[in-house]
Structure 1
Amino acid sequence: MTPAARLQTAIEILDAIAASAREGGAPADAIFAEAMRARRYAGSKDRRAIRGHVYDAIRAVRSAPASGRAAMLVLADADSALAALFDGSAYGPQPIAPGEPRAETGLAAAALIDLFDPLIGEGDGEAMLARAPLDLRANRIKANRDDLAALFPEGEAIPGAADGWRLPPETAAAQHPAYAEGRFEVQDAASQYASAALDAARGDAIVDLCAGGGGKTLAIASLTANEADILACDTNRARLQQLPPRAERAGATRIETRLLNPGQENAMLADWRGRATRVFVDAPCSGSGTWRRSPELRWRLTPARLERHLADQAKLIDLGADLVAPGGKLLYAVCSIIAREGRAQVDEFLNRHPGWTADSGYLPDGIGRAAGHGFLLTPAHDGCDGFFLARLTAPC
């Protein structure tokens, strides 16, 4: 493909991503992959260049643009070499006309920024959209961080994460034989901090209420040396089915999975009511803390979608509380920097549940900032995804 053809392809893919964002459809990565399957003639260099154009434009534009061209013109204004590719050549974009509209730039739409936690400042914007490093977590059942240092000497230790090792963005670590052997997992530092904050121990009875594909479930199994009983639940069959083979690879043999039917969660977890010493509620959320990895999420969030997330979060934290044994602990977490999903959700929980208390001092020194009854982690302050977490103790 010519450079101009690559640029036109990126514009077409951006059109599809913007439309999908407005409609709540497939994510950007899935759309990009499908577009490349439809263009089998594109080589690896073509794919890398097209992907670069697409994601550079997504990071630059604050909300779903009217067109992919309007988004790409933003980049062309800052790059004369890119602007020169708007040359009208075969398969390339048409020349730039005077006064053509551009997409709006910035971190996010003003109405969305107004929802951020008060701790988010002007200096956070660049870090929230920068390319994220690749974080690894050593699986204690089979390895430790020193092993990761030997495998990937180009990396560095993650501050405050005992098992964490950080590599440059897009390192192909998952292709290393040690990954297939279950010696490590790819996991952002924020998730490693949250898993450790649960303070699970050998012999605990643990519920991971929103386990998804099981990343934090496996981290908890590692931290407890495969000597705790863990029930991993979710309502998404496709995601939960990913966990058993991952657990087998990791040597985590005490994980039970349970698919929950939406609306029937209480009945389906009746055998665990009041029994769990630890409950992890990694609730579905806006994903606003993960914009480094999925910048198009800024284009997807609407007031209606946020309200649905808030309702689900309140339901799940209450459900989790019913499972906790007297004196046990619940960790509530969202990969969000929106105050209503974080500190406000915990404030409301504590008002609904007299006798429950919020813990403190469960994060490594220098990690996180106090946000109400919990802690907020951000890329600028903590070098990880944006995350809110709060550990709560049940009355005895």
Structure 2
Amino acid sequence: MTPAARCAAAIEVLADITERRRPAADALKDWGLAHRFAGSGDRAGIASLVYDALRRRASAAWIMGSDTPRAVVIGSLRLQQGLAAPSIAALFSGEGYAPAVLDSDERSRVETATLEGAPREVAGDTPAFVLPELEATLGEDLIPEMRALARRAPLDLRVNTLRGPRDTILTALEGYGAAPTPHAPKGLRVPVGADGRGPALHVEAEFLDGWYEIQDEGSQLAALLADAKPGETLVDLCAGGGGKTLALAAATGNAAHLIATDGDPRRLAPIHERLRRSGAQAEVRTPRGGKQRADVLADLDGTVDRVLVDAPCTGSGTWRRNPDAKWRLRPGSLSTRHAEQAAVLDRAADLVRPGGRIVYVTCSLFPSENDAAIAALLARRNGAFTPVEAGAVLAAGPASLADAVRRTTHGVQMTPLRTGTDGFYVAVLERAR
């Protein structure tokens, strides 16, 4: 497919997303199934155009004076890819499978329109109703942070030290331009192409042999700040596919009693193969479905040294990777997440022993999911827990991180602008002895 034909396809996919209010991944998958002539490179290129358009949907619509899929694609080519008017006009030639020729208004806007005077939700490409939440976290950096959150995310790896040192993999991947991550001591960052697509590292022999996992640097750092110790009993309460479970196993050298579980047993499905591949040792407790399902952790109440709560959240800190999620977010979604966060924090509080710790993690920038969730637990438990001071939490990580994070009332917040990571929040609570 030509670049122009890819633009036409991206417009078609965006129309499907808009009309059916569905995730971008689903719309892209369906498009690929209906157009089997498109090769993997074409599908990746179309996906890149779609995600770039979603990242800049509000600002692209503003400069184009229209929020149609066509207008948003044109505007994103200008704002996200920095294409000049002649380059955009060449893609919109109307020839063959190219989109129709730019009309006079479209060409004028591509040439002259700016974001000057745009409201904050447009300048930051953010739903207006979450601005108060974001401003509470980001303050005067709101717009620069939201623009950083609209950029493409890097491709980060965590080297599995159960297999060997980081330098070994750094050498093996030097042909891909791999370099150490800015903060995470076991991380590597691999450059992505102009289309935002990274190399297929999941098919490399080193990956198949468990030498590394694909994991954002912020997620690596969150696991590091858990400060897991050999000999401890650790519970990864919302383990999902097991990314942080594997990181905890490596951090303790497989010398902890590590239990992984999740309220949704379907999310645990990938963890078994990942454990096998990596050599990480963890006990996986999968809850059974049905009304009579038993609590798989009941025997551990009051005995656990450290509980990691990678809580369900809106994922606002991952909008670089999932830009369609921000446009599908609704006020009711926040209420649902708040209830889920309270439930998992209460479960963690029952599990942890006197003197033990809860490590609460989200990939959210919203204080109602972060500090407010911690404050609510402290109130519910009436003095049973004390927040660990941010400096002590950060002591488990690299010094460079301590200088970059935002310190909040009860925890620390990573952000794309300040730390170059997804927007992870970490707070640690200690139970009274």
Distance 1:390 1:76 in 2: 39
Q: Distance in 2 between matches of 1:64 and 1:211?
A: 37
Cα displacement (A) at 1:49: 3.2
1:206 matched residue in structure 2: 234
2:419 aligned with 1:382, yes or no? yes
**What is the DSSP-based 3-state SS (H/G/I as helix, E as strand, rest coil) of the residue aligned with 1:123?**
helix
Q: CA separation in 2, counterparts of 1:335 and 1:191?
A: 8
What is the CA-CA distance between 1:117 and the residue it aligns to?
A: 5.3
Q: Are 2:185 and 1:162 equivalent residues in the alignment?
A: yes
Task: Name the % identity.
Answer: 38
Identify which of 55, 63, 66 aligns with 1:59: 55
Distance 2:127 2:347 in 1: 33
Residue aligning to 1:248:
276
TM-score by length of 1: 0.90
Aligned pairs (5 A) from 1:69-80: 69-75=70-76, 79-80=84-85
Flag structure 1 segments of 5+ consecutive residues without an equivalent.
none
Does the CA contact (< 8 Å) of 2:233 and 2:304 recur in 1? yes
Partner SS, residue 286 of structure 2: strand
| C-alpha separation in 2, matches of 1:44 and 1:319 | 44
Counterpart of 1:145 in structure 2 is 166
2:128 corresponds to which residue? 110
Would the alpha carbon gap of residues 159 and 105 (structure 1) be closer, same or farther in structure 2, given more than 3 Å must change? Answer: closer
Q: 2:317 aligns with which of 286, 289, 309?
A: 289
AA in 1 matched with 2:248: I
Cα shift at 1:151: 1.6
Deviations 1:108-132 (A, max 9, x none): 1222222115341132122212222
Question: Structure 2: how far apart are the matches of 1:147 and 1:264?
Answer: 49
Q: Would you say the 8 A contact 1:131–1:292 is kept in 2?
A: yes
| d(CA) in 1 for partners of 2:135, 2:268 | 31
In the TM superposition, residue 187 of structure 1 has moved relative to its aligned partner by 1.0
Shift of 1:263: 8.1
Indicate how the Cα distance of structure 1 residues 219 and 64 shifts in structure 2: closer, same or farther if over 3 A, else same.
farther
Say if 1:289 and 1:335, in contact at 8 Å, map to a contact too.
yes
Counterpart of 2:182 in structure 1: which amino acid?
P
TM-score w.r.t. length of structure 2? 0.83
Taking only aligned residues, the RMSD between alpha carbons, in angstroms, comes to: 2.6
Q: Which moved more, 1:326-335 or 1:86-95?
A: 86-95
Name the stretch that deviates more: 367-376 or 80-89.
80-89
Gaps of 5+ in 2: 62-66, 111-120, 193-197
The correspondence for 1:28, drawn from 12, 17, 24, is 24
User: Contact 1:115–1:340 (CA<8 Å) still a contact in 2?
Assistant: yes
Q: How many angstroms apart in 1 are the aligned matches of 2:185 and 2:235?
A: 23
Alignment CA distance shift 1:171-1:262 (3 Å): farther
The one-letter amino acid paired with 1:331 is: V
Measure the CA separation in 2 of the matches of 1:16 and 1:118. Answer: 34
Q: Secondary structure at the match of 1:62?
A: helix
Aligned-partner Cα distance in 2 for 1:278–1:93: 56
The answer to whether the Cα contact below 8 Å between 1:18 and 1:299 also exists between their aligned partners in 2 is: no
CA deviation string 1:165-212 (max 9, x = no partner): 222131332222111101111111111111111111112111111111
Structure-1 separation of matches of 2:30 and 2:332: 28
Q: What displacement does 1:99 show?
A: 5.9
2:14 alignment partner AA: L
Number of residue equivalences: 392
CA distance in 2, matches of 1:321, 1:28: 37
> Residues 185 and 263 (structure 1 numbering): CA distance in 2 closer, same or farther, change over 3 Å?
farther
Is 2:185 the counterpart of 1:184?
no
Whole-Å separation in 2 of the counterparts to 1:388 and 1:13? 33
Aligned pair in 2 of structure 1 residues 95, 263: CA closer, same or farther (>3 Å)? farther
Which of 153-162 and 268-277 deviates more?
153-162
| Contact residue 191 and residue 216 of structure 1 kept, 8 A | yes
* Local SS of the residue matching 1:115: helix
**Would you say the 8 A contact 1:18–1:64 is kept in 2?**
no
SS in 1 for 2:91: coil
